[in-house]
């Protein structure tokens, strides 16, 4: 019989049975302490014999009634506290006086008088230790048993090796009432694995009500994304908290532990089975080369750095204007390099600076001579850019222009812009600024191709939709709101978005860049768009909660519709027109889209810069309507600064970073012709 089973039987014994058990224990301690007292008196070991009978009988006749009188058999051992121990001390003292009076003061023939002193002392110690032992053993185990009984049940989905290892780990954890397994295999259903039954998934509803199942743990690390989606859709119809294990690669390396469990990421549901990259192509493209990532501390920039590091560049330059973000990504990448001493070392260089600072770039690029620049630096939060339009345009348009022109001046072989689906028929300043950034690269590529030169920078753009888990994604926001008990806020019940995981997006950006010849707008296959309201419902249900609705007004988590934010639209698109062609990669398309020649675009950018410098918001809006195909703002341009001060002072020209009075403004790069390579 196992210890928990024995504990359960002891706890659930009738009161009379428990008292008889306590009396039997104390009677045994009386006999044991008489024997020990005799041996201490004689100073050698002797067997228990009839000569000890009178001393033992005396202990029984004097001790057990005294102990009962002081209530030692009325208290519950597992709850014994200070008052119970005080009563035990009093009982032992009275018993000791009586026993010493009989066997020491009066004396009994054949029994050493010292036994009358030694035995009560030993009995007091034995009584105290027995009560403490019962409290620790029965009491603590009973509380743990109650916690297990009262805690919601747990099922493991997957009765394979990972599931069994997870079950063994959970058995050692308190507050985990493991009920059994769920498995798709008919060969396993109805069997028992280490005493735990294996059920069919169709039995989940019955199990939830019968065993109060609160959690289902997915132990299927090798299952495809599509299979995981099917399983999760089954689990969504039941109020269970779904958690999962990491990927098989991690588990093979270090085994399965309960600490590996984490809440089911929505990325697991919206992602797709990965397409393996062309390793030979990426190794040739990145291996032993000098690569620079702007915005290296951001969501996409940092993931680009992680994946570039896998392909062993010689030097990885991290350009970031946020000191903390740069510190974090540099520390992470440096630690990753240190953990793989067998690989060729990669020099990781953290560089503080703004992409709008031409002088800073003119210092960095000739010093390190990067072969490739991935331009991920951008302001991308739609409402923030909508209310800070001048900064958004400066960073997204002129930051791209400054970097692209610097790349040409210093002989950078390739320049890859990370763009967004919000650049397609935008309704906000952020999307319009990103489309203008694309047009800048298209025009620069076209202009340099018209001029014979020794060197040409390969400009290319990669456009994709929302990235799950990025700083602007709804997923972290929904997760925080669910943890706080709601409400979960969505801007519109019908709003839809394309989604992609951060690693998948970064991988495809690198893959597209490796296939580029110049001037292309690559579009990533984002799959089917996702309704944000459905996403919120799914996340709530997978956390073990219910969505509050008219049919279930009490309990659950409420979803509140807050209304579209400034510049936000219901549907996003990836293509301006329908002219697309395939590439060697099944998830990467190539779009053919209209752009202005450089001479015309440069003139328009100069006009835009003048309007921005004078802070003429209506003129800026009108010019964006003219320049960006399909731009349809939902309202007037609202700048928080302009709202506060209708006549603000003129600002520095875009591209000029001398914004501190003590320093003169730097030359405006927008007035320069495309620079020839040195």
Catalytic (active-site) positions:
422
Strands (DSSP E) found in 553-651 = 559-561, 580-582, 588-591
Q: Are strands 466-468 and 499-501 parallel, antiparallel or unpaired?
A: parallel
Three-state secondary structure call for residue 293:
strand
Listed residue (21, 671, 99) closest to 401, CA to CA: 671
Are 329 and 320 within 8 A, CB to CB? yes
Backbone angles phi, psi at 327, to 5 degrees: -60, -45
Two tokens at 491? Answer: 């801007």
Bridge partners (DSSP) of residue 499 are: 466
Q: Is the dihedral of CA 282, 285, 290, 292 positive or negative?
A: negative
What order of strands is seen across the sheet that includes strand 372-375?
347-352, 315-320, 290-294, 372-375, 414-420, 458-464, 521-524, 588-591, 580-582
> How far apart, in whole angstroms, are the C-alpha atoms of residue 77 and residue 135?
6
Q: Report the Cα 175 to chain-centroid distance in Å.
A: 23
Convert 303-340 to b/e letters by CB count within 10 Å (16 or more is b).
bbbbbbbbbbbebbbbbbbeeebbeebbeebeeebeee
> How far apart, in whole angstroms, are the C-alpha atoms of residue 632 and residue 616?
19
Instruction: Give the DSSP H or E segment for 163.
Output: helix 161-171
Instruction: Give the DSSP H or E segment for 326.
Output: helix 323-338
Listed residue (94, 85, 82, 72) closest to 26, CA to CA: 72
Listed residue (232, 311, 298, 240) closest to 265, CA to CA: 232
């Amino acid at each position: 019989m196992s210890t928990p089973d024995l504990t359960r039987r002891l706890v659930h014994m009738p009161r009379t049975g428990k008292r008889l058990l306590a009396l039997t224990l104390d009677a045994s301690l009386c006999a044991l302490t008489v024997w020990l007292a005799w041996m201490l008196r004689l100073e050698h070991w002797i067997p228990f014999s009839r000569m000890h009978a009178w001393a033992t009988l005396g202990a029984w006749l004097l001790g057990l009634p005294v102990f009962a009188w002081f209530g030692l058999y009325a208290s519950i051992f597992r709850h014994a506290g200070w008052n119970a121990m005080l009563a035990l001390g009093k009982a032992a003292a009275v018993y000791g006086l009586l026993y010493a009076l009989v066997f020491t003061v009066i004396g009994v023939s054949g029994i050493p008088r010292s036994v009358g002193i030694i035995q009560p002392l030993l009995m007091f110690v034995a009584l105290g230790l027995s009560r403490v032992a019962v409290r620790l053993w029965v009491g603590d185990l009973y509380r743990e048993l109650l916690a297990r009984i009262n805690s919601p049940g747990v099922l493991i989905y997957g009765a394979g090796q990972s599931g069994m290892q997870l079950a063994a780990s959970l058995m050692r954890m308190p507050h985990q009432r493991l009920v059994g397994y769920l498995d798709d295999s008919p060969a396993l259903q109805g069997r028992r694995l280490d005493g735990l039954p294996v059920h069919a998934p169709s039995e989940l509803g019955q199990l939830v009500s019968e065993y109060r199942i609160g959690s289902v743990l997915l132990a299927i690390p090798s299952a495809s994304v599509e299979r995981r989606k099917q399983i999760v859709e089954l689990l969504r119809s039941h109020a269970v908290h779904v958690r999962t294990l990491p990927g098989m690669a991690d588990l093979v390396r270090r085994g399965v532990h309960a600490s590996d469990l984490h809440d089911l990421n929505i990325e697991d549901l919206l992602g797709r089975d990965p397409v393996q990259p062309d390793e030979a192509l990426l190794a040739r493209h990145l291996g032993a080369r000098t690569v620079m990532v702007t915005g290296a501390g951001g969501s996409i920039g940092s993931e680009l750095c992680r994946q570039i590091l896998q392909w062993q560049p010689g030097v990885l330059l991290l350009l970031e204007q946020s000191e903390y973000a740069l510190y974090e990504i540099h520390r992470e990448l440096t630690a990753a390099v240190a953990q793989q001493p067998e690989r060729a070392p990669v020099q990781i260089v953290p560089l503080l600076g703004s992409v709008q600072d031409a002088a800073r770039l003119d210092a960095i690029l000739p010093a390190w001579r990067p072969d490739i620049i991935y331009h991920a630096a951008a302001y991308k939060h739609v409402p923030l850019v909508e209310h800070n339009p001048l900064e958004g345009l400066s960073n997204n348009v002129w930051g791209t222009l400054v970097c692209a022109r610097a790349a040409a001046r210093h002989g950078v072989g390739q320049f890859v812009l990370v763009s967004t689906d919000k650049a397609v028929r935008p309704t906000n300043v952020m999307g319009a600024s990103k489309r203008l950034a694309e047009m800048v690269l298209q025009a620069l590529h076209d202009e340099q191709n018209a001029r014979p030169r020794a060197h040409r920078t390969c400009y290319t753009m990669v456009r994709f939709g929302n990235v799950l888990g990025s700083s602007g994604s709804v997923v972290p926001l929904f997760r925080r709101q669910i943890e706080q008990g709601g409400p979960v806020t969505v801007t519109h019940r019908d709003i839809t978005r394309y989604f992609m995981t951060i690693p998948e997006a970064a991988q495809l950006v690198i893959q597209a860049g490796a296939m580029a010849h110049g001037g292309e707008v690559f579009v990533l296959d984002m799959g089917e768009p996702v309704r944000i309201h459905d996403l919120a419902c799914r996340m709530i249900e997978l956390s073990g909660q219910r969505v509050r609705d008219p049919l279930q007004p009490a309990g659950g988590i409420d979803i509140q519709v807050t209304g579209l934010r400034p510049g936000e639209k219901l549907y996003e698109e990836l293509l301006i027109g329908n002219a697309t062609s395939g590439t060697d990669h099944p998830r990467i398309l190539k779009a053919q889209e209209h752009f202005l020649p450089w001479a015309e675009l440069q003139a328009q950018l100069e006009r835009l810069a003048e309007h921005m410098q004078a802070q003429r918001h209506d003129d800026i809006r009108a010019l964006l309507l003219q320049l960006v195909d399909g731009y349809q703002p939902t309202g007037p341009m609202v700048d928080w600064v302009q709202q506060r001060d209708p006549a603000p002072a003129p600002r520095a020209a875009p591209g000029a970073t001398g914004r501190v009075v003590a320093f003169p403004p730097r030359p405006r790069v927008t007035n320069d012709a495309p620079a020839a390579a040195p």
